[in-house]
Amino acid sequence: MLKELRGSDVIIECLLEQGVDTVFGYPGGAVLNIYDSLYKYSDKIHHVITAHEQAACHAADGYSRTTGRTGVVIATSGPGATNLVTGIATAYMDSIPMVAITGNVTRDLLGLDSFQEVDICGITMPITKHNYIVKDPAELADIIREAFYIANEGRKGPVLIDIPKDITGALMVYEKKEPKKVVNHNPEGINEEIAAAAELIKNAEKPFIYAGGGVVSADATEEMAEFVRKVDAPVSLSLMGQCALDNTKDCYIGMLGMHGTKTAAMTLSECDLMIVLGSRFSDRVLCNAKTFAKDKKIIHIDIDPAEIGKNIDVYSHVTGDVKYILAKLCELLPDMKHEAWMNTVMDWKKQYALRMVPIESEDEVLPQDVIEELDRLTDGKAIISTEVGQHQMWAAQYYNFKCPRSFASSGGLGTMGYGFGAGMGAKVGNPDRTVVNIAGDGSFFMNCNELSSLAKHKIPLIELVFENDVLGMVRQWQRLFYGKRFSQTNIERGTDLMKLADAFGVEGIRITKKSEIKPMLEKVLKCGKPCLVDVIINKDINVLPMVPAGADVSQPIMNIELD
Catalytic residues: 53, 115-116, 165, 473
Q: Angle at CA 161, nearest 5°, toward 44 and 163?
A: 85
Residue by residue, DSSP assigns 466-520 as EE-SB-HHHHHHHHHHSTT--TT-B------HHHHHHHHT-EEEEE-SGGGHHHH
Q: How far apart are CA 193 and CA 318, in angstroms?
A: 6
- 408 φ/ψ angles, rounded to the nearest 5 degrees: -130, 110
215 closest CA partner among 165, 261, 166, 278: 278
184 closest CA partner among 79, 302, 290, 91: 302
Which secondary-structure segment (H or E) carries 25? strand 22-25
Q: How far apart are CA 386 and CA 407, in angstroms?
A: 8
What is the SS3 assignment for 147?
helix
Q: Which amino acid, residue 147?
A: A
- Name, in order, each residue with C-beta under 8 angstroms of 82's C-beta and a sequence gap of 6 or more: 118, 120, 123
Q: How far apart are CA 304 and CA 95, in angstroms?
A: 11
DSSP letter for 545, please. S
Radius of gyration of the chain (CA): 24
Q: How far apart are CA 184 and CA 218, in angstroms?
A: 10
Return the number of other C-beta atoms located less than 10 Å from residue 382's C-beta: 23
Q: How far apart are CA 120 and CA 106, in angstroms?
A: 14
Q: Angle at CA 228, nearest 5°, toward 247 and 193?
A: 135
CA 91 to chain centre: 8
Q: How far apart are CA 31 and CA 27, in angstroms?
A: 6
